[in-house]
């Protein structure tokens, strides 16, 4: 089995994982997710500070529509990597590479279809989401520019997972950093210097995704030292269904987040106008960074769980599960503490010049952040069931957590508590979802022997 050098030691999926080794192996994926979130935040920073509040609100209004389509990359990346990890654990490397190649080729074709569909429906979707005459042109142009780069955007999301299962997490980190630096530099140049406005931010995003999607594509297409190589694909209809099933929870999570974001924006327009949408945009940028740890850790640990499950190594599977739960709980407490302490300085990065908006955003951050106490367990629980190839339970957790519960609470709580009820909705949803997640972990512990 080939290895990846992490820190000063070589780490592979078949190793025994201590806390230190587990953190070293997952660190690249954690850093990758956080850095991806940070350069997304930079887009918002430049738009908010160099373009204006209306384009910033327009960006946050239309962004969920763009992210719905990019969720296909997450679905095939996570679902495909889970199946590939189990196949590698069972010792069938040839089939693992054929499945990997099949998934990548399908995503390239799907990206082309997404480009056309997303471009055509950009204007009607902007209107449906509540864009007024002032916001509409910003929404439409940003969405259409982004959809022109659908293929590299989707591939970037997809390869984040495959870099980890190929035992090359540092490759994923390096590529993500390169993509992020490209995005940030071009944000500064196109938005801050050349004054291209929201269009400039969209072009910067596409340029970054070209780096993030094309470099791994080339790496896996040529001879390399990883476990995976892009080559001839073989049609595995049943396995492809399993890929979709495995990744359905992540797909549902991304799509549901986008739908819920649209609903939040709709409610906020009703209760607080453009300021409410802007405040929610700030919370989402910060949430991407904070929750990025949970997603990154789960993305890094899942292939280990999947490999040991495929190899029938129950003792190591139990060890990784125990260590992971403890890490997630400690991280959850730290994230909440940071959010409470630094709420105002973080809000000032985006809305420092508008005092009333700053106060609204600061209050919202301090309420919203309590959801992080529960979100980590839910994210890891869903990822674990994906790694164990139980896409149904993983999808159930994600679907109820992100869509059903949040929709229910965001419709009901504002009626009772007004604007505060909007910010409280996600806390109630994550808490109820955590009860479900823990119940599923208890029910299935003997079936998969992870506890």
Kindly compute the dihedral angle of the four CA atoms of residues 157, 158, 161, 164, in this order, to the nearest 10 degrees: -100
The pLDDT score that the predictor gives to residue 317 is 92
Q: Label residue 7 by pLDDT band (50, 70, 90).
A: very low
Asked whether the predicted pLDDT for residue 62 surpasses 80, the reply is yes
- Per the structure block, which two tokens stand in for 280? 């929610």
Highest mean pLDDT among 42-51, 67-76, 180-189, 276-285: 180-189
State whether the Cα torsion 356-358-364-370 is positive or negative.
negative
**Number of residues written out for the chain:** 451
CB 393 within 8 A of CB 445: no
Average pLDDT over residues 281-301: 88
Let me know if 295 is exposed, middle or buried by CB neighbors in 10 A (0-12, 13-18, 19+).
buried
The pLDDT score that the predictor gives to residue 145 is 93
Q: What is the 3-state secondary structure (H, E, C) of the chain?
A: CCCEEECCEEECCCCCCCHHHHHHHHHHHHHHHHHHHHHHHHHHHHHHHHCCHHHHHHHHHHHHHHHHHHHHHHHHHHHHHHHHHHHHHCCCHHHHHHHHHHHHHHHHHHHHHHHHHHHHCHHHHHHHCCCCCCCHHHHHHHHHHHHCCHHHHHHHHHHHHHHHHCCCHHHHHHHHHHHHHHHHHHHHHHHHHCCCHHHHHHHHHHHHHHHHHHHHHHHHHCCCCCCCCCCCCCCCHHHHHHHHHHHHHHHHHHHHHHHHHHHHHHHHHHHCHHHHHHHHHHHHHHHHHHHHHHHHHHHHHHHHHHHHHHCCCHHHHHHHHHHHHHHHHHHHHHHHHHHHHCHHHHHHHHHCCCHHHHHHHHHHHHHHHHHHHHHHHHHHHHHHHHHCCCHHHHHHHHHHHHHHHHHHHHHHHHHHHCHHHHHHHHHHHHHHHHHHHHHHHHHCHHHHCCC
Give residue-wise pLDDT tens across range 409-449: 999 999 999 889 999 999 999 999 999 999 999 999 989 98
Asked whether the predicted pLDDT for residue 1 surpasses 70, the reply is no
Share of the chain above pLDDT 90, in %: 32
Asked whether the predicted pLDDT for residue 13 surpasses 80, the reply is no
Asked whether the predicted pLDDT for residue 381 surpasses 70, the reply is yes
The pLDDT score that the predictor gives to residue 9 is 53
Average pLDDT over residues 236-244: 80
Q: Label residue 138 by pLDDT band (50, 70, 90).
A: very high
- Per the structure block, which two tokens stand in for 413? 């709580």
The pLDDT score that the predictor gives to residue 166 is 82
Give residue-wise pLDDT tens across range 336-367: 999 999 999 999 988 777 788 899 999 999 99
Measured CA to CA in angstroms, residue 382 lies from 237, 246, 256, 433 at distances of 24, 10, 14, 11
The pLDDT score that the predictor gives to residue 249 is 67
Asked whether the predicted pLDDT for residue 6 surpasses 50, the reply is no
Distance CA 201, CA 194 (A): 11
CB count in 10 Å sphere of residue 348 = 15
In degrees and rounded to multiples of 5, residue 2 shows phi and psi of: -75, 160
Highest mean pLDDT among 42-51, 93-102, 126-135, 182-191: 182-191
The pLDDT score that the predictor gives to residue 409 is 95
User: What mean pLDDT is reported for the chain?
Assistant: 86
Give residue-wise pLDDT tens across range 253-279: 777 777 888 888 888 878 887 788 788
Distance CA 220, CA 217 (A): 6
Distance CA 165, CA 299 (A): 9
Share of the chain above pLDDT 70, in %: 97
């Amino acid at each position: 089995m080939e290895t990846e050098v992490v820190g000063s030691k070589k780490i592979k999926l078949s190793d025994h994982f201590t806390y230190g080794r587990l953190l070293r192996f997952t660190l690249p994926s954690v850093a990758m997710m956080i850095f991806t979130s940070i350069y997304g935040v930079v887009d918002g920073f430049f738009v908010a500070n160099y373009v204006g509040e209306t384009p910033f609100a327009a960006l946050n209004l239309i962004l969920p529509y763009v992210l719905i389509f990019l969720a296909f990359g997450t679905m095939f990346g996570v679902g495909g990597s889970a199946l590939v990890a189990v196949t590698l654990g069972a010792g069938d490397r040839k089939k693992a590479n054929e499945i990997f190649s099949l998934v990548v080729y399908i995503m390239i074709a799907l990206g082309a279809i997404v480009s056309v569909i997303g471009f055509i429906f950009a204007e009607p979707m902007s209107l449906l989401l509540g864009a007024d005459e002032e916001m509409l042109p910003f929404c439409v142009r940003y969405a259409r520019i982004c959809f022109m780069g659908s293929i590299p955007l989707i591939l970037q999301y997809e390869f984040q997972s495959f870099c980890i299962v190929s035992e090359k997490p540092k490759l994923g980190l390096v590529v993500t950093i390169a993509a992020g630096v490209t995005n940030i530099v071009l944000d500064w140049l196109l938005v801050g210097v050349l004054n291209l406005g929201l269009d400039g931010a969209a072009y910067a995003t596409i340029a970054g995704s070209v780096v993030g999607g094309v470099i791994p594509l080339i790496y896996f297409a040529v001879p390399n030292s990883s476990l995976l190589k892009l080559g001839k694909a073989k049609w595995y209809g049943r396995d492809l269904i399993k890929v979709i099933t495995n990744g359905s929870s992540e797909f549902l999570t991304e799509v549901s987040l986008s739908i819920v974001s649209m609903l939040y924006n709709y409610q906020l327009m009703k209760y607080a106008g453009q300021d409410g949408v802007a405040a929610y945009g700030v919370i989402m940028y910060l949430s991407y960074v904070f929750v990025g740890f949970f997603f990154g850790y789960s993305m890094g640990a899942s292939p280990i769980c999947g490999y040991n499950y495929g190899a029938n190594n129950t003792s190591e599977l139990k060890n990784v599960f125990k260590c992971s739960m403890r890490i997630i709980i400690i991280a959850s407490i730290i994230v909440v503490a940071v959010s409470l302490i630094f709420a105002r300085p973080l809000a000032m990065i985006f809305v420092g010049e508008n005092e009333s908006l700053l106060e609204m955003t600061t209050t919202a951050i301090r309420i919203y952040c309590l959801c992080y106490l529960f979100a980590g367990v839910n994210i890891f629980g869903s990822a674990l069931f994906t790694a164990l190839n139980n896409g149904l339970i993983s999808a159930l957790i994600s679907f109820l957590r992100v869509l059903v519960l949040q929709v229910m609470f965001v419709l009901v709580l504002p009626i009772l508590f007004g604007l505060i009820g909007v910010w409280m909705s996600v806390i109630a949803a994550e808490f109820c979802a955590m009860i479900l997640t823990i119940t599923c972990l208890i029910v299935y512990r003997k079936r998969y022997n992870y506890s």
